[in-house]
Amino acid sequence: MHVWLQIPLEIRLILLFAAGVVVGGQVNRAVYRWAWNPRPIGPWSPPHEKAPPRRWSDRLPVIGWWGLRREVKLHGRGYWIRPMLLELGLGGVFVLLYWWEMQGRLYPPATPPPFPLHDLQVQYLSHVILITLMTIATFIDFDEKTIPDAVTVPGLLIGLALAALLPKSHLPVVQFPPLAAGPVFENLRLTSPAPWPAELNSETRWLAAAVALYLAWAIAVTPATWTKRRGVIKAWGYWGASMIRHRTIWRLAVLAAVGVPLVVGAWLAGGARWEAMLSSLVGMAFGGGLVWAVRIIAGASLGKEAMGFGDVTLMAMIGAYVGWQPSLFVFFLAPFLGILFALVQLIFTGRSDIAYGPYLCAATLCLFVGWGRIWTGWLDGIFAMGWFVPIALAVCLGLMGLMLMAIRVLKSLLFRDA
């Protein structure tokens, strides 16, 4: 880290742009290879059977796509433009986000320098990893309205590993104690803006709760059949039998073998590592649970699936990186971003269906850019209200269900004879 900071800023930005472009090439690879229906697009995928021979230059970032224009008859006119722009765009995002965060923009505007440069570096690392994962999810979701577990499951595990190994990677918060010589730099935790209670570090029930949260997520992302047509008891039997039959129980075993030692290791290490781990697990559970609740309520109210399970796993992954408090901000901002796109799409194409995942990702990017003002100017005051937040959230979810049910009834009355 010290060596990196000794490099002139201009050189660092050039290196980050090059890294972003190279990473963008692998993002394109994932977009076409990890989709539900993989496509033979790009230099890293097996070529189409009718494609001309690939060249070594095709694998060069950006430039390679210019050469791959020769395959337009197979993939469509201009197919190469989006992946080329994605590589350039990700390089630009790597640079701009680094410059933004190194200026101390993650802190409130009134925070005086010097800023903790080590903390800023690891926070930036966490953010570009999440942005890379969200970019893959966004473009697959745009293409086919799915978000594969190949993105969200490893992505969440990486987020938990960052919490255990680099606890300073969590979003920063700043305190201005009256008698302190200057600002006190901290990281967002489960209990923020309140202090961290000592019992969370000493009572083993919190370790049990953390392991339970992780295993609940592992079970949720393990494919299995769940049906209550013959009762809840038999539903559990069918669930276990389906995992054994389709051999997905090995996936659950691997997830448990990887994640549980990570959680226990953070507990044994204690201090900032455990605080960051527990905060990430609660962020995972809150983010994913919130979208899952909306999925259930909206589905019951509308009589059809309103949101895919991929959105649940995506929000769980985001929550592991940012925590539960920012997840609430992301959840409420995303629909407004989605509405803007939906209106444009409806005007120009007449389609009303949209992929929701990209707007969760866009809202998360807005969170990173505006965090310094978002927390100090708004969220810290809201979360200082204690139980008001979950109560208000439960009321909002209930009102949403009633509203959607009313819309369904009204629609059936107006278009009954159509």
Condensed to tens digits (0 to 9), the pLDDT of residues 291-345 reads 998 888 877 777 766 678 899 999 999 999 999 999 999 998 998 888 888 777 7
Cβ proximity of 372 and 326 under 8 Å: no
The 10s digit of each residue's pLDDT in 58-106 is 999 999 999 999 999 999 999 999 999 999 999 999 999 999 999 999 9
Output the pLDDT for position 416.
Answer: 61
404 pLDDT higher than 80:
no
Output the pLDDT for position 213.
Answer: 97
Residue predicted with more confidence, 121 or 234: 121
The 10s digit of each residue's pLDDT in 118-140 is 999 999 999 999 999 999 999 99
Output the pLDDT for position 177.
Answer: 75
Output the pLDDT for position 350.
Answer: 66
What is the number of residues in the chain? 418
Of 217, 219, 359, residue with least CA distance to 281:
217
The tokens for 10 are 């201009």
418 pLDDT higher than 60:
no
The tokens for 14 are 């050039």
Output the pLDDT for position 415.
Answer: 64
Alpha carbons within 13 A on the beta-carbon side of 240: 5
Mean pLDDT in residue range 6-18: 95
DSSP state, 196?
P
Is the pTM higher than 0.85? The answer reads: yes
- Quickly state the pLDDT bin for 242 (edges 50, 70, 90): confident
The 10s digit of each residue's pLDDT in 263-274 is 999 999 999 999
Output the pLDDT for position 217.
Answer: 96
Q: Which residue has the tokens 């919490």?
A: 163
Q: Which residue has the tokens 């033979």?
A: 40
Mean pLDDT in residue range 221-238: 77
